[in-house]
């Protein structure tokens, strides 16, 4: 991760430890992993199993579920077994609270990663009259946190499982708020407290997240966290996300606005796009972000001009037809350009091009070479035929 790399066309990822979550590795040069969370009640074993499977089938590589009670922890055991019996093992993450350390110790045996929120390690009700914590109080709270947290860390270490230290801007502990305010620094200090406890216990299978519902806040927190971890010798991977991003176009854009700049700087080893929609809808957004930055290629890359007065055919309709016919051909770049004036140059390195030549005629390109001209009505079929001739077609 180097600011000079801003002028490079390649993304230079921050070098981190690799952390295993089931059969998925997070960090270092491993592909940026895609994750989400089911919204079924974990106690609904059938519903939760189906929800996990649905997510996994559309490409979600790591699935999280909430575990607020011992009954939920036992349900996770059954869910895991059911997945193994009827589908396949899926990397699972349990969300736990500090006051349920017994729950965490139980569920840690049935999942691949446990997520804790440092802000929820509070032992007393917030006192509205309090305005500060003395150094003695801070140190006493620190000791209680370490004591509470240690058995979980020991178990994860023994079982070679992972931990996510997941800080949320909206739920910082009171003493962090008094010391650092509602700031990215407060978020970083919250995570560092838990990282140091893990370090003392020689546990390093750690992933860190710094989520906030405002993109600039989360971006600042992730950058600061990466700098701090690298300076202090904790090269742990980052899980990126904007919380409570909402739904629809704006939810997608807001998530992308926060996640993509960090990925482009080389920060981030796993991502979640949190939408107020069915969780399966999050997965294509994650893959689109990763593909548009060149970090993963999981679908056809379509290069298409926006159309203008020179456009020689109904570009929107043809792009739609081309996409319908070829979307299953992972790994190809296909350009659809409205005219010959700018088309061939601007479709750059596409594997195939469909370019308006004259009214009623289109040209097909392989790379930069024009291969044939055909009547527009035969264009899409001719493109498919060309891909088949090249042996790059597979049936859907």
Choices 208-216, 265-273, 281-289, 307-315; region in contact with ligand SF4 by CB under 6 A: 307-315
Per-residue buried b or exposed e for 32-42, using 16+ beta carbons within 10 Å of the residue's own CB = bbbbbbbebeb
Distance CA 367, CA 364 (A): 10
Choices 120-128, 134-142, 188-196, 308-316 (CB under 6 A): range interacting with ligand SF4? 308-316
Residue in 268, 289, 138 with CA at minimum distance from that of residue 210: 268
Has 339 been labeled as part of a binding site? Answer: yes
346 assigned ligand-binding residue? yes
Helix, strand or coil, per DSSP, at residue 221 = helix
Q: Which residue minimizes CB distance to ligand SF4?
A: 338
Q: If binding is defined by CB under 6 A, does position 344 make contact with ligand SF4? A: no
- Based on CB atoms, which residue is closest to ligand SF4, 66 or 307? 307
128 binds ligand SF4 (CB under 6 A): no
Q: Is 303 in the site for ligand SF4 (CB under 6 A)?
A: no
- Count of residues in contact with ligand SF4, rule CB under 6 A: 12
Closest distance to ligand SF4 from the beta carbon of 345 (Å): 9
Instruction: By CB under 6 A, name the one of 126, 128, 135, 306 that touches ligand SF4.
Output: 306
Strands 270-271 and 19-21: unpaired
286 is annotated as contributing to ligand binding? no
Pick from 12, 130, 310, 388: which binds ligand SF4 (CB under 6 A)?
310
Q: How long is the chain?
A: 396
Distance of alpha carbon 181 from alpha carbon 187, whole angstroms: 9
Rounded CA-CA distance 281/362 in Å is 36
Give least dist CB 332 to ligand SF4, A: 20
Dihedral angle computed from the Cα positions of residues 298, 302, 306 and 312, in that order, rounded to the nearest 10 degrees: -160
Tokens for 159, please give them.
């079982």
337 sits near ligand SF4 (criterion: CB under 6 A): yes
Q: Which residues bind ligand SF4 (CB under 6 A)?
A: 305-308, 310-311, 337-339, 341-343
């Amino acid at each position: 991760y180097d600011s000079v790399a801003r002028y490079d066309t390649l993304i230079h990822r921050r070098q981190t430890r690799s952390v295993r979550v089931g059969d998925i590795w997070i960090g270092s040069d491993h592909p940026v992993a895609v994750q989400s969370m089911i919204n079924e009640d974990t106690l609904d074993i059938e519903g939760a199993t189906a929800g996990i499977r649905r997510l996994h089938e559309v490409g979600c590589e790591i699935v999280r579920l909430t575990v607020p009670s011992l009954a939920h922890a036992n349900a996770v055991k059954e869910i895991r077994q059911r997945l193994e019996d009827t589908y396949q093992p899926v990397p699972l993450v349990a969300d736990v609270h500090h006051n349920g350390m017994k729950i965490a110790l139980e569920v840690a045996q049935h999942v691949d990663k446990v997520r804790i929120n440092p802000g929820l390690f509070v032992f007393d009700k917030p006192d509205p009259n309090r305005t500060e914590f003395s150094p003695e109080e801070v140190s006493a709270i620190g000791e209680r946190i370490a004591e509470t947290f240690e058995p979980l860390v020991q178990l994860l270490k023994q079982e070679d499982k992972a931990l996510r230290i997941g800080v949320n801007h909206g739920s910082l502990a009171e003493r962090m708020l008094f010391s650092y305010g509602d700031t990215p620094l407060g978020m970083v200090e919250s995570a560092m407290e838990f990282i140091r406890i893990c370090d003392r216990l020689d546990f390093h299978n750690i992933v860190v997240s710094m989520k906030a519902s405002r993109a600039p806040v989360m971006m600042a927190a992730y950058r600061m966290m990466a700098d701090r971890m690298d300076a202090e010798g904790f090269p742990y991977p980052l899980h990126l996300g904007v919380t409570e991003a909402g739904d629809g176009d704006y939810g997608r854009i807001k998530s992308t606005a926060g996640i993509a700049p960090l990925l482009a700087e080389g920060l981030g080893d796993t991502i979640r796009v949190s939408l107020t929609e069915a969780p399966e809808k999050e997965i294509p957004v994650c893959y689109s972000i990763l593909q548009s930055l060149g970090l993963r290629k999981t679908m056809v890359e379509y290069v298409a001009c926006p159309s203008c007065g020179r456009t020689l055919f109904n570009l929107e309709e043809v792009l739609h037809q081309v996409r319908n016919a070829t979307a299953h051909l992972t790994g190809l770049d296909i350009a659809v350009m409205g005219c010959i004036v700018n088309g061939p140059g601007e479709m750059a390195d596409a594997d195939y091009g469909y370019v308006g030549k004259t009214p009623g005629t289109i040209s097909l390109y392989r790379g930069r070479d024009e291969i044939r001209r055909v009547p527009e009505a035969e264009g899409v079929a001719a493109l498919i035929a060309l891909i088949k001739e090249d042996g790059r077609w597979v049936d859907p």
